[in-house]
Amino acid sequence: MKLISPRDFVDLVLVKKYEDGTISSNATHVEHPLCPPKPGFVRGFNHPCGCFCEPLPGEPNKTHLVTFFQTDLNGYLPQSVVDSFFPRSMAEFYPNLQKAVRKFHH
């Protein structure tokens, strides 16, 4: 293993669009025989997590966003490494979410 090994995750994801335009994306860790741990990777664990994108009434170009995540990266990582990784990772998450929501609505 490298000093900081890459992670992989196996999650079951449900994306649902509601009548009011709300979109939810919900996920949780699962184990599956077709997705065994890979050599050279540390298997991470996502607790139940997701996001809700709710349209704001009267403001068609705005969305109320609620996200909830609890990820266990597993392995032996110094807290300073985790603390430096997560803000960058979450910052990248939101532009990607914005792109996905636009595709989902069109």
Q: What is the CATH number of the domain that holds 44?
A: 3.30.530.20
**Whole-angstrom distance, CA of residue 50 vs CA of residue 14:** 9
| Residue 99 resides in a domain | yes
Q: Which residues pair with 75 in a beta bridge?
A: none
Does residue 58 surpass a pLDDT of 60?
A: yes
Q: How many distinct structural domains can be found in the chain?
A: 1
| Residue 27 resides in a domain | yes
- Give the pLDDT band of residue 3 (cuts 50, 70, 90): low
**Whole-angstrom distance, CA of residue 68 vs CA of residue 81:** 21
| Residue 74 resides in a domain | yes
The number of residues making up the chain comes to: 106
| Residue 42 resides in a domain | yes
Q: Whole-model pTM above 0.75? A: no
- pLDDT tens-place string over residues 4-49: 788 899 999 999 999 998 999 999 999 999 999 999 999 999 999 9
| Residue 16 resides in a domain | yes
| Residue 2 resides in a domain | no
Instruction: Please give the radius of gyration of the chain, using alpha carbons only, rounded to the nearest integer.
Output: 16
Owning domain of residue 85: 7-105
Q: Which two tokens stand for residue 90?
A: 């979450």
Q: Which residue has the tokens 């664990």?
A: 45
Identify which of 9, 5, 53, 49 has the alpha carbon closest to the alpha carbon of residue 31. 9
